Amino acid sequence: MQLKVVGAGLGRTGTTSLKKALEQLTGGACYHMFEVIQHPESVAMWHAVVRGESEDWDALMGDYTASVDWPASAYWQELSAANPDAVVLLSTRATPEQWWGSMAKTIINVLTMELPPENPGMALHRAMVIDMLERRFTPDWREPEAAMAAYERHNERVREEVPSERLVDWQPGDGWEPICDALGVEVPADPFPHENSSEEFHGNLEQSRAEG
């Protein structure tokens, strides 16, 4: 596994846009939660990672040049240690309230809605995500204040632990330049991608399931 970029930003911080951008910049595939949905066989491997039974990153990400979003961002420390030459990209929103507003409309909604009984794979996937959130984020991920506090703790931990020369502290409005500077590549002429707004989230989720 040779990741060029390790995404440390949590979900709903522009990670789908980053996935598209990083694939263009690195010339390879970028790991994202959509990859888990499209490859249901990986859910069991992530269950093992979450439980501390495995750290087989090559099996999960051997074919990728970058990672963003949950579940990979919950393991940014392990991935950055395994890829010491990779840039660590911390994507955030302007405020914790803005981040939670997007989370509540999308990921929280999906994790708390009733699941169709005819699709047990969705239940296994959701169980993995919830287990990861409770172990690596906060057991109170459903509660706005607790989740926002955990979000801020996560971001500050990344900023404190990653050397400044390796860290890209990025928000969606920052565009190409900070990432391109860190990677040593030219800034593309086309606009930075804008993908997976709260309104688009559920449609993109269904499309990923259909492709899986």
Q: How many CB atoms lie within 10 A of CB 156?
A: 10
Whether the upstream peptide bond of residue 71 has omega within 30° of 0, thus cis, is yes
Is position 210 within any domain? no
**C-alpha Rg value of the chain to the nearest Å:** 16
Q: Provide the token pair at 22.
A: 């990083």
DSSP conformational letter for 4: S
Q: Please determine, for residue 1, whether its predicted confidence score (pLDDT) is greater than 70.
A: no
Summarize the confidence of residues 197-207 as an average pLDDT.
51
What is the reported pTM?
0.90
d(CA 55, CA 78): 8
> Is the sign of the CA dihedral 173, 11, 155, 27 positive or negative?
negative
The pLDDT tens digits of the residues spanning 13-57 come to: 999 999 999 999 999 999 999 999 999 999 999 999 999 999 999
Is position 152 within any domain? yes
| Total domains in the fold of the chain | 1
State the residue range of the domain holding 52.
Answer: 5-203
The pLDDT tens digits of the residues spanning 65-86 come to: 999 999 999 999 999 999 999 9
Which CATH number covers residue 86? 3.40.50.300
Task: Measure CA of the first residue to CA of the last residue in the chain; give whole Å.
Answer: 23
User: 13, 100 in Cβ contact below 8 A?
Assistant: no
Is position 132 within any domain? yes
Is position 212 within any domain? no
Is position 123 within any domain? yes
Is position 45 within any domain? yes
Closest C-alpha to 74, from 148, 7, 156, 141:
7
